[in-house]
Structure 1
Amino acid sequence: MHRSLKSLLVAVLAAIPLLNMASGYGGSLLSYLAIVMALALLAWPRSAPSPDALTATGYRVFIVLMCLPMLTVVLSQWAKHGWSSSDIERAFRLGPSVVILLFALLRIDEQKLRFAILGTLGAAVVGAATVLELALTTSGRPVTGDYNAVSYANLLLLFGCMSLYSLAVPFSRHPRAERIAKLLITAASVIGVILTFTRSTWMAFPIFAAIGLVLFFPKIRPVRLVAAMLAFTAAASALAFSSSGFRERIYLAQQEIHECMTQNDRADSSVCIRVQLARAAWHMFQQDPWLGSGNGKRYEQSLPRLQEAGIVSEYVTNNFGETHNDMLMAMASYGILGASALLIVYFAPAVVFLRRLRQPLAMPARASAAMGLALCLSFVVFGLTELMFRGMRTISMYGMLIALFLALSHPRSATGSPAERR
């Protein structure tokens, strides 16, 4: 029963990114199931001495940091009388649930736990196939329906890069065929992103390139790292610009920026809508910089009043209820405390991943650290132009993957249990 519980938890973790890319259902429910199984696993009696106490000591600062976002949300809601159970749940999924799952995963054999990574590869395959099918059967820009095109392309590029990093993680006794399959998945993901005609997704490519270079060439010099990163970015840019649809959207963005900045600052164009949403968020933040409005729903509720003040257009008021920017949403809703909490969600795990990526660990552990670092930093970049933490399923997936990659990159002893030294 104990072994079955571990295997089921690994299967659930693998299914979460796959379901997120395949449909709009199941991912959030599976995250609840994963937490329940993690709690059951932690409560299960162990026949061998548990290293949990020592492990917890090594993660003491991380545990405290990951609990702070939930505390800031509760504090702001209490002070501003803006109780919202959904916002508290979001903070729980991004904080305490990560800690719970992490310590449960550290009890699972590393060889078994690695198979959860296959879920990200499967998500890349599903995403690329979905975009390709839409591109062949519909006219114009492919729209998945479950995610908007930007969010879908963001996740597709992320999972494609994880497939590339997984070259350092063996899953079978056929390494050659496995490497070819992983490279094909990466290539299909990049092609899929190009077919979405998404502009902002490519802003994260230099980060993905740098992480990959450090993973596969750990002794690379900084100058060569920058040069190689620029070369790969230039090649990716040339590939993206080979698409006429992408070129048209770049030119359109230039026109929209010029119009919004010089002619009509409330134009209902893609770029200017984002400018208006940001302006509205900044206005709300200024009302109470420390605590914000105390509720994420109050942003949408404030738009009619901001329309009367000439800050946003009628179209924006009627069709948008969020900022299209994670940091601005945190600032408008929960002020400086909320912004600090979001930075913790990004960088508390990112610092751990970066340190492990640079350590002389086994390649599978370093590859897991690379995937975790790519996840954290890409969400920073993606969150500048899209509300990546809009839905519970994406929030859950982010938290689950953080815990997974922390467990897989954790230094372990030869027996597969957490090592005595980190």
Structure 2
Amino acid sequence: MKSLLVAVLAAIPLLNMASGYGGSLLSYLAIVMALALLAWPRSAPSPDALTATGYRVFIVLMCLPMLTVVLSQWAKHGWSSSDIERAFRLGPSVVILLFALLRIDEQKLRFAILGTLGAAVVGAATVLELALTTSGRPVTGDYNAVSYANLLLLFGCMSLYSLAVPFSRHPRAERIAKLLITAASVIGVILTFTRSTWMAFPIFAAIGLVLFFPKIRPVRLVAAMLAFTAAASALAFSSSGFRERIYLAQQEIHECMTQNDRADSSVCIRVQLARAAWHMFQQDPWLGSGNGKRYEQSLPRLQEAGIVSEYVTNNFGETHNDMLMAMASYGILGASALLIVYFAPAVVFLRRLRQPLAMPARASAAMGLALCLSFVVFGLTELMFRGMRTISMYGMLIALFLALSHPRSATGSPAERR
């Protein structure tokens, strides 16, 4: 049972990058297996896991998003089972998985991380194939280019952090493979010509520096982070396609702000979607519309009011921004719930990253922190929580990295503590 659950967790990110099917279904299977594991007396965890009092506040916080969704829907008569399911996957399911995973041996559980490395390999290979066989910008059939590039860079950085997590008896070959995966992921992101993905790079750099140089001084941390960011920027600008999209963005911003605020350009469409979301939020700042689907339903009316163009009304049904979507749908309560989903686990990961734990545990904390903070940044220009599969993967990875970074009585071998 435990080995199968680890395999399922490893397969979820891999399937999400490889195809549009399977990841969401496996998340259901993981929850069922977690419940079975919790109900199985012989799988009782060690006493230190049972008395993990530090999770009490976390459990309460992670249940609040679902409560806010139900409250808003009840008050606004906007019942939506899919929105409730989203809140469940981002909240209570994380808690269920976490306490089930704490019953699995750490040495066995860490192999689930290989799923993120495999996802990076699949993502990089997919982008490379599209770049070689199609003209223009590589676009996968399951994610749009921005979401795919976002996840690819995230998994590539997780591969880098996993240098501190041994998986085999061949450390040299393992390190080379992980570095190659990271490099391939970065190249893949460059080939997507995606602009906003690079906004998260300083965060990834800072987390990596703290992981591998825990005693680094703040001034040196900032200097090194800026140096790595500058190097990454130079690498990205070496692509003519990327440069063209940067120049295009400048032109679109100028047009949208000075000439036509309803231009059907990439940047101005996002401005219109944000304007529409803000208008809906102002109608009821506390509870929002009470249903995520009401945003799309409101666009024709907003078009008549001159807030969005006809093209936006006919081709877009979401905000391209997670926070604005939460605000339009569920008001201040929804925005607070989203902040909890981001920062409740992020605070735990940051604290563990700075603690003198074994390197594999700190690396897992680094991966979890990168996951939370990158979704904050990525969510500014893309609706990362659009699909159930991404929502499920986020919740599953949060639980996985919390379990792997959990301070245990046995901290691993001497090699792992170095």
TM range (shorter): over 0.9
Asked if the contact 2:365/2:405 (under 8 Å) is kept, the reply is yes
Shift of 1:55: 3.4
Which residue number in structure 1 is paired with residue 209 of structure 2?
213
Measured in 2, the distance between the counterparts of 1:319 and 1:161 equals: 33
Change (3 A) 1:307 1:118: same
Asked if the contact 1:98/1:399 (under 8 Å) is kept, the reply is yes
Measured in 1, the distance between the counterparts of 2:202 and 2:21 equals: 32
Change (3 A) 1:47 1:54: closer
Shift of 1:57: 2.3
Asked if the contact 2:161/2:367 (under 8 Å) is kept, the reply is yes
Asked if the contact 1:413/1:420 (under 8 Å) is kept, the reply is no
Of the structure 1 ranges 182-191 and 55-64, higher mean CA displacement relative to structure 2 is found in 55-64
Measured in 2, the distance between the counterparts of 1:23 and 1:400 equals: 18
Asked if the contact 1:17/1:27 (under 8 Å) is kept, the reply is yes
Asked if the contact 2:45/2:102 (under 8 Å) is kept, the reply is no
Deviations 1:241-297 (A, max 9, x none): 000000000000000000000000000000000000000000000000000000000
Asked if the contact 2:131/2:137 (under 8 Å) is kept, the reply is yes
**RMSD (CA atoms):** 2.4
Asked if the contact 1:199/1:250 (under 8 Å) is kept, the reply is yes
Measured in 2, the distance between the counterparts of 1:121 and 1:151 equals: 17
Secondary structure of the structure 2 residue equivalent to 1:57: coil
Shift of 1:413: 1.0
Measured in 2, the distance between the counterparts of 1:408 and 1:125 equals: 22
Aligned counterpart in structure 2 of residue 379 of structure 1, from 375, 379, 385: 375
Secondary structure of the structure 2 residue equivalent to 1:303: helix
Q: Which runs of 4+ in 1 moved over 2 A?
A: 46-58, 415-422
Shift of 1:201: 0.1
Deviations 1:202-244 (A, max 9, x none): 0000000000000000000000000000000000000000000
Change (3 A) 1:314 1:372: same
Change (3 A) 1:419 1:166: closer
Deviations 1:341-369 (A, max 9, x none): 00000000000000000000000000000
Asked if the contact 1:106/1:417 (under 8 Å) is kept, the reply is no
Measured in 2, the distance between the counterparts of 1:321 and 1:51 equals: 49
Of the structure 1 ranges 84-93 and 46-55, higher mean CA displacement relative to structure 2 is found in 46-55
Asked if the contact 1:66/1:99 (under 8 Å) is kept, the reply is yes
Change (3 A) 1:420 1:186: closer
Shift of 1:58: 2.3
Shift of 1:46: 2.5
Change (3 A) 1:47 1:377: closer
Measured in 2, the distance between the counterparts of 1:381 and 1:418 equals: 37
Kindly indicate whether residue 194 of structure 2 is the aligned counterpart of residue 198 of structure 1.
Answer: yes
Change (3 A) 1:28 1:332: same
- The number of residues matched between the two structures is 418
Normalised by the size of structure 1, how large is the TM-score?
0.97
Asked if the contact 2:210/2:216 (under 8 Å) is kept, the reply is yes
Shift of 1:414: 1.8
Change (3 A) 1:49 1:65: closer
Kindly indicate whether residue 373 of structure 2 is the aligned counterpart of residue 413 of structure 1.
Answer: no
Shift of 1:394: 0.0
Secondary structure of the structure 1 residue equivalent to 2:416: coil
Asked if the contact 1:107/1:417 (under 8 Å) is kept, the reply is no
Asked if the contact 2:277/2:328 (under 8 Å) is kept, the reply is yes
Deviations 1:162-209 (A, max 9, x none): 000000000000000000000000000000000000000000000000
Measured in 2, the distance between the counterparts of 1:12 and 1:361 equals: 27
Kindly indicate whether residue 343 of structure 2 is the aligned counterpart of residue 347 of structure 1.
Answer: yes
Deviations 1:322-343 (A, max 9, x none): 0000000000000000000000
Secondary structure of the structure 2 residue equivalent to 1:356: helix
Of the structure 1 ranges 39-48 and 50-59, higher mean CA displacement relative to structure 2 is found in 50-59
Measured in 1, the distance between the counterparts of 2:280 and 2:91 equals: 25
Change (3 A) 1:240 1:421: closer
Shift of 1:36: 0.2
Shift of 1:51: 2.6
Question: Which runs of 5 or more residues in structure 1 are unaligned?
Answer: none
Secondary structure of the structure 1 residue equivalent to 2:336: helix
Which residue number in structure 2 is paired with residue 119 of structure 1?
115
Change (3 A) 1:68 1:141: same
Change (3 A) 1:12 1:261: same
Asked if the contact 1:412/1:419 (under 8 Å) is kept, the reply is no
Asked if the contact 1:330/1:338 (under 8 Å) is kept, the reply is yes
Asked if the contact 1:22/1:126 (under 8 Å) is kept, the reply is yes
Secondary structure of the structure 2 residue equivalent to 1:265: coil
Change (3 A) 1:82 1:234: same
Identity %: 100
Change (3 A) 1:403 1:183: same
Deviations 1:367-403 (A, max 9, x none): 0000000000000000000000000000000000000
Of the structure 1 ranges 408-417 and 301-310, higher mean CA displacement relative to structure 2 is found in 408-417
Normalised by the size of structure 2, how large is the TM-score?
0.98
Shift of 1:419: 20
Which residue number in structure 1 is paired with residue 237 of structure 2?
241
Change (3 A) 1:246 1:420: closer
Secondary structure of the structure 1 residue equivalent to 2:215: coil
Secondary structure of the structure 1 residue equivalent to 2:109: helix
Secondary structure of the structure 2 residue equivalent to 1:412: coil
